[in-house]
Structures are given as structure tokens and as C-alpha cells.
Structure 1
């Protein structure tokens, strides 16, 4: 390799970096054959991972490698200013000259990000007429979610106001603040299910993440910006679509300040502080297709100003904090409240205040960025029975459809449903227990039914649930038979 081989045609480089590819093609007779059409997606520099919209026009090298003009210039400056004789490289023992094909295989495949078209008139992200009214949102939620009337009403109003805010973003000088939400409720009360149903009804990108894996930057775990990366992935890496999506952060109570801890709290208060800028709205650089930033992952900028954040958590022991505050307010005398007045109040969570959350371990700045706080009730036996049979995709309807594919009808006695709900209450895990209980009793039935084509109907009885009898089996065109 001679010094002549290291020189470049400055005229060609100038033509490419100045965006005069047509002139270069006309002069040299061809485009590069290995570079595919970008189909509306941005190209990334293979060295610095900056997109074309930031780094400028890319220089296309063989084997689909693209390099920005800055990195290309730095490379040639380094080579030209170096006193090293590159012609001796070929004769050095142990030196392997890498070809471009090997370099392509070593680099990770970047997930594409759509280009923002130049000169295109920016239309409003949402049309006011397309936003369903709160009563329509709640009516749709009623079809899927049993009970929790106050929670559904609060969510419907908050979401309606949020997307009105997105639609009228630049209408006038009055800036509407974000309506981020905080849901508090025991496990299995329907927090995640409410958010999933809401996102499906609104047809917007949704990212569901868990706060337990989040840590302060530089520590093992997911960076705080990873929640936005998941939303970007859910929006097919379309930044504009992601910027009006919904992020649901579950288990938010797990990032409360740790009490009486001598170790550094990298997954508690520091995570709350790091999330402040996301909740309020700011431009953050997030990795595309990864949870953490590193040199080999491309970054893109996402503005969280119009992203709706919904946080949810069970907040164990919060009831005790509320009771302690309420008991302190009791006076002394004949009209004083009894100390155990609140011990049997099942709706004690509804009396939660920002002060209670601060005593739990949430910092005031974090609570202030979640202005809408509402609670979900714990489920009772009556609500569990309704959950079994009333929603559009109720658990019983799912099993009835499974057996209908085998041309078998499945029925449940009302007493059997009550027995299932009673067993679920004993597990104290909310609606999650229902599926586990039914799966346990349906296992033998779903195993045996495909064996016999004569079975036409199976009826689940209370005795079968309680273990004192079996299901009632009806053969096609014959009398009832009792299952063993």
C-alpha cells in the first residue's frame, strides 16, 4: 500500500457531502450498486451512529456501510497527519487487513427510524372530532372491566383532557398542563387491565414497563429512558407517533425511598428524581432497539411533552399510614373517635392524600407531576362472580369457546361460580386467582373430552369445585351422566 493509495479525490468527496450525488453519477457513470433504497428511513453513520437528519448527508461505502462527512474527514486527517508508514503494514507479522464485508458483519443491525419529510405541511396530531367523549370512553371500559366506577370515570376524563391538550397544542397562548395519573389499588384489582383496554380503544401506542428494573444511570439495570425506548418500539420506531402515546409504569411503589438503609439507594429516590423530566416533558435521547445506551446503538430524540404517563402500584402498608394520620386527628372526650374505627374500613385507600404518599417514600416533586390520583377497590365475591361471566372476554367465555371448537357445550352453575369466587378470595390475589382456579378444575375435562366424540355438554357444579362430586356430562342425544 503506497501513499498514493491513501489519497482521496477531494472533488468526489465534496460532491457527495454537499448533496450533489446527481452530478457525481452523471460524471462517473453509475451509483453504488450495493446500497439499497432507504424506503423512507434514515441512514445512520456506521461510526458515530448519528442519523442523517443530524449528521448531514452520508457517504456510501461498499457493503451497505454509510459514514458521515465528519467521521470521514477525521479518519483522513488522522491518516494524513500520522508519521506512520502504512506501506509497511502489509509486511508486518500478525497484521490482518480487514475487508469491508467483515466490518459489516461485526456491526449491529440498527433498527430504522422513519424520515421526517422536508417541506411537508405539519398537520395536527389529532383531530378534536376524533377524540371520544368521556362517557363514551367509560361505556367502552364498562364492556371489559367490572366495577371500579370511580377509576373508570377519572381515567376517561383525564385521557379526554390529555388528547384535547395534544390536539390544541399550538392553538393559543394558554398552555394546558399534562394530566398524568397515579392509580393505587391492591394486586389483582385491574390496574394493568384498565390501561391495556384504554390503549386498545384509543388505538394509540402503549408501552407497559415495570419500575422494579429501573436504576440510576451507570448501575446494573434499565436506564430511566428505557421506558421511552419501549414506547418507540411499540410505535414501530415512528417518533411522531410515539410522542402521543401512553406509557404505563407498573409497580411504581417499588421506587419509594428506602427507610433506614445505609447503602446507596440507586433504585429508589434517585429513580424518582430521574423521572421528573420525563413526566413533565422534555427532549430525551433514547436508544433505538435497546434498553441502554452504548457506542454501538443509534440514538434518536423523543419529546415527552405529549406522552401520557400512567403510574400504578399496590402500595402495601399504605393503609396503615392513612389510619395513623386519621387516628391522630381524633380528639379527646366523649365525642372522640375510637382508635379501631378505621380498622375495618374496606375503602380506607380512598382517603389517601399526598402527605400519605410522601410518608410512604415518594418525593413531593414526583407526586406533584402526577396530579390525578385515584384508587381502585379490592374485589369482593360478588365482583369476582361478575368478572367470571360478564365482560366481553370473560374467563368463562374463553373456555366455552375452546370447548366449542370441539363441538362441546360448557356450562357453569351459579353455585359453582360462587364457590370459585370464594376460593379466589382466600388466595387474596384478586382477579388473578380466578384463572388459576378454573385452570385447575378444567385440566382433566379438557384432557378427556377429545377422547370421546359422544360428549355433547359438560356442566361444572358446586360439588365438583368443592371436591364432593364431579361435573355433569351429557352425551349427544342421551340422558345425563355424572362425571366421576
Structure 2
């Protein structure tokens, strides 16, 4: 406890204070002390590769709760070709080893949530049924707020399970049976059909997406009424910087500054129905990763790409090193491609393609990747077993030039 409080100025212990009634603890109503705390679902807005999915997955891992990932683009309204919205609870139940009680405290992450916006926009009034947009939002309403979802399992329902893995109903009796946390399996259903009831009142829903074009909706709202009789500003960069000095259209951070000011009305104009937005009280925007952020992802985090490739070459008895200039060039190229952290692996594969073919089985024992290699101006440097001194000298020289 003392180690956890080193960074704080408050005392380790605070005196116990009775509630307002000033009654002894044995005379207090326990209902007054334990007020139920409701969940707050989250909407994450950010560009691709900014870590939205990783945040949700890491949160579930730290809390030791089941986690299920679903893609909103596959959802359709019930009765149409595609996945029903309840499929995300089915995946959560699979991740919980078919335990409905454990599944009721899990986390569901729905990616590409911007793709279920109404195709016709808000208040457009166009005809036609939007089965992949507003229809999906309507299907998710009760589930996100909290409801009992019925999940039907038949045989081996987990597609990731190895062949021969028994399904959730393996070993169950043939006749009707009532199981805690589950429904009633009828006699006609047989042992390979089972019904589960999952309460989503305490299931945290995290929706994420890039929301391309939402920044324009926010800018349009902020520009209206700023000049004269409610006239909107011009759409050029000079007008934007006039009423928003911190907005820089030529830089990525300017776009994120706009998304930080998203309001429910902006999301409604983007294509969400008000009932859906009201069930997502926490709306936050993630900033695009900068070069220092990319460097940390590339070298410091657990399972970093540099460590992966070092381990790959070490399996062949080869030591590979990257100069600081080469790593920075890789990060800058990934940002230029607009792919975020996902673009790092593609660039690393392109840079190391020749090395992965030439080095294994050869006499090469040391490989050096510098900035010229990343740019394609020069091949990677190779040294044999007895040239360790030359290898480290070349590495030190490249680092000195980078400084």
C-alpha cells in the first residue's frame, strides 16, 4: 500500500465518517450503503491503427473478464441475409466457455460502428428499408441498455475449436432439463441443441470506428451563426483558422481537435438515431499516433515488431540491428501511408524481404539496417562470424551520424 501511495500527498488512511443519519453501522440500512452502479457504454472515435481495439482488449485482460469482438459491417436487421445483432452475445458466450453468468460481466467490442449509420442521413425522409444501418441500431438498442438475450447453441458452435471438440451440450441428458443460467432444452431439440439466457445489464459495450466525415459535420455546426445573421463561414482553410485558431487542416492533430468537440447532435446528423446515441454516454476521440508513439510501438511494447524480427533471425543464429534513423524512417513512412500502427508490419516486411531470403543457411551472422536501407538506396549490411568488430563499428558510426 505504501508503494502505491508514494506519488500522492494525502494520508494513507482517512477516518471513517458515518452517513448523514449519524447512526451506528449496525442500525444502517444496507441498501443505502450499496447503491447499484450502472454501466456507461463507450463510443471510440479515431483513425485506423490508433489502438481502439487494443484498448478494449487490454481492458478486458486487466479486468479478467470475457471479451468478444464483432464487426458491425456484417450485421443486418433480423430476417435478412447476414448476421443478427445478437451474434455479438453469442461470441461473448463462447469466450466465457458457455458460462452465462461469467458472460454477463464481459466486454463486447463492436468495430466499424460508423458503418451502421443511416444511409440516408438524419431527417432525409427517403424511402426504403435500411436493414444494415438504422435496422441494426434498432436491434442493438435493448441489448446495449440491458436485456436478456437468448442464445441458441447447436453442436460445436465455436468455429475456432479444434476438430473433435465437444459442443456446449456434450454430455447433457436427452430429455428436457433446466440448467441454471440457461433455458429449457426441449425433448425434440435433442442433446445437440441448447438455449442460454445472457443478461446484458452489466455487459460493457465499446463501439469504435473511424467516422470519416464526422469532422465536417462538427465544423458545419460550429461555423453556423458566426457571421452576420447566422450565415455559415466559407469552407476554405482561411475561414476555418479564423474561427478556430487551433485548427490546422494540413496536420492530423487539427482533425482530432475537431473530433474532441463532438456532441450528440453531430452524431445524429452523421446518421445515428437519438435513441442509440443516448445509450452511449461516453464519447471520446483518439488522436493519431505520432512518430514518438510509433517508435514505442515498434520497440518498447510487449511483442514489439523489432523484437519479433530479432527473434526470427536469432533462430538462424543471426543478429540483426536497426539504427535509430532507420526506425524513425519506418515510423514516418507508416504515418505517411495513413495506416497507423498497422502499417509498421507492412513496411518491415518490405525492408527485410531480401534479408529473410538471403541470410538463412548462409555464412552471414550480422545484419545492419540503416536509413538508406529503409529508403531503398542501399542493401542491408552483411557481416560474417569473424567480423563482429566491423559490425559494431558500422553500427556506432551510423548512430553518430544520426545524432
TM-score, normalising length: structure 1: 0.60
The 1:332–1:405 alpha-carbon spacing in structure 2 relative to 1, beyond 3 Å, is same
Query: In the TM superposition, what whole-angstrom CA distance separates every residue of 1:331-373 from its partner, at most 9, and x where no partner exists?
Result: 449xx99622245224221111111111101111111111111
Query: In the TM superposition, what whole-angstrom CA distance separates every residue of 1:45-72 from its partner, at most 9, and x where no partner exists?
Result: xxxxxxxxxxxxxxxxxxxxxxxxxxxx
What is the DSSP-based 3-state SS (H/G/I as helix, E as strand, rest coil) of the residue aligned with 2:379?
coil
Deviation at 1:279, TM superposition (A): 0.8
**Unaligned segments of structure 1, at least 5 residues:** 1-128, 136-168
The 1:171–1:475 alpha-carbon spacing in structure 2 relative to 1, beyond 3 Å, is farther
**Aligned mates of 2:147, 2:33 — CA distance in 1:** 20
**Aligned mates of 1:364, 1:408 — CA distance in 2:** 59
Residue in 1 that maps onto 2:129: 264
> Following superposition of structure 1 onto structure 2, how do residues 325-404 of structure 1 map, counting pairs within 5 Å?
325-332=221-228, 339-341=239-241, 342=247, 344=249, 345-346=254-255, 347-404=257-314
Residue in 1 that maps onto 2:211: 315
The 1:427–1:297 alpha-carbon spacing in structure 2 relative to 1, beyond 3 Å, is farther
**Aligned mates of 1:319, 1:405 — CA distance in 2:** 47
TM-score, normalising length: structure 2: 0.72
Query: In the TM superposition, what whole-angstrom CA distance separates every residue of 1:68-103 from its partner, at most 9, and x where no partner exists?
Result: xxxxxxxxxxxxxxxxxxxxxxxxxxxxxxxxxxxx
Is structure 2 residue 70 aligned with structure 1 residue 209?
yes
**Aligned mates of 1:313, 1:467 — CA distance in 2:** 34
> Following superposition of structure 1 onto structure 2, how do residues 273-284 of structure 1 map, counting pairs within 5 Å?
273-284=138-149
Residue in 2 that maps onto 1:408: 318
Higher fraction of helix: 1
Residue in 1 that maps onto 2:201: 305
Query: In the TM superposition, what whole-angstrom CA distance separates every residue of 1:399-454 from its partner, at most 9, and x where no partner exists?
Result: 112112222222111111121122212211111111111011112212222121x3
* Larger relative contact order (CA 8 Å, sep ≥ 6): 2
**Aligned mates of 1:205, 1:170 — CA distance in 2:** 29
What is the DSSP-based 3-state SS (H/G/I as helix, E as strand, rest coil) of the residue aligned with 1:179?
coil
Deviation at 1:381, TM superposition (A): 2.7
Residue in 2 that maps onto 1:255: 116
Residue in 1 that maps onto 2:36: 175
**Aligned mates of 1:464, 1:474 — CA distance in 2:** 15
Query: In the TM superposition, what whole-angstrom CA distance separates every residue of 1:158-181 from its partner, at most 9, and x where no partner exists?
Result: xxxxxxxxxxx9886733221111
Is structure 2 residue 371 aligned with structure 1 residue 476?
no
What is the DSSP-based 3-state SS (H/G/I as helix, E as strand, rest coil) of the residue aligned with 1:182?
strand
Q: How many residues align?
A: 312
Residue in 1 that maps onto 2:244: none
Maintained 8 Å contact 1:473/1:480: no
Aligned partner of 1:419 among 329, 332, 342 = 329
**Aligned mates of 2:205, 2:33 — CA distance in 1:** 24
Residue in 1 that maps onto 2:14: none
> Following superposition of structure 1 onto structure 2, how do residues 10-25 of structure 1 map, counting pairs within 5 Å?
none
Maintained 8 Å contact 1:461/1:470: no
**Aligned mates of 2:300, 2:351 — CA distance in 1:** 20
> Aligned-residue CA RMSD in angstroms?
2.7
**Aligned mates of 2:374, 2:390 — CA distance in 1:** 19
Query: In the TM superposition, what whole-angstrom CA distance separates every residue of 1:246-272 from its partner, at most 9, and x where no partner exists?
Result: 110111111111116543101111111
Query: In the TM superposition, what whole-angstrom CA distance separates every residue of 1:170-219 from its partner, at most 9, and x where no partner exists?
Result: 88673322111110001111111111222222221110001111111111
**Aligned mates of 2:201, 2:134 — CA distance in 1:** 23
The 1:476–1:301 alpha-carbon spacing in structure 2 relative to 1, beyond 3 Å, is same
Maintained 8 Å contact 2:38/2:202: no
**Unaligned segments of structure 2, at least 5 residues:** 8-29, 159-188, 242-246, 395-403
**Aligned mates of 1:252, 1:384 — CA distance in 2:** 25
**Aligned mates of 1:332, 1:386 — CA distance in 2:** 48
Residue in 2 that maps onto 1:236: 97
What is the DSSP-based 3-state SS (H/G/I as helix, E as strand, rest coil) of the residue aligned with 1:417?
helix
Deviation at 1:297, TM superposition (A): 4.4
**Aligned mates of 1:332, 1:420 — CA distance in 2:** 49
Deviation at 1:301, TM superposition (A): 0.9
What is the DSSP-based 3-state SS (H/G/I as helix, E as strand, rest coil) of the residue aligned with 1:340?
helix
Is structure 2 residue 346 aligned with structure 1 residue 436?
yes
The 1:265–1:236 alpha-carbon spacing in structure 2 relative to 1, beyond 3 Å, is same
Is structure 2 residue 42 aligned with structure 1 residue 190?
no
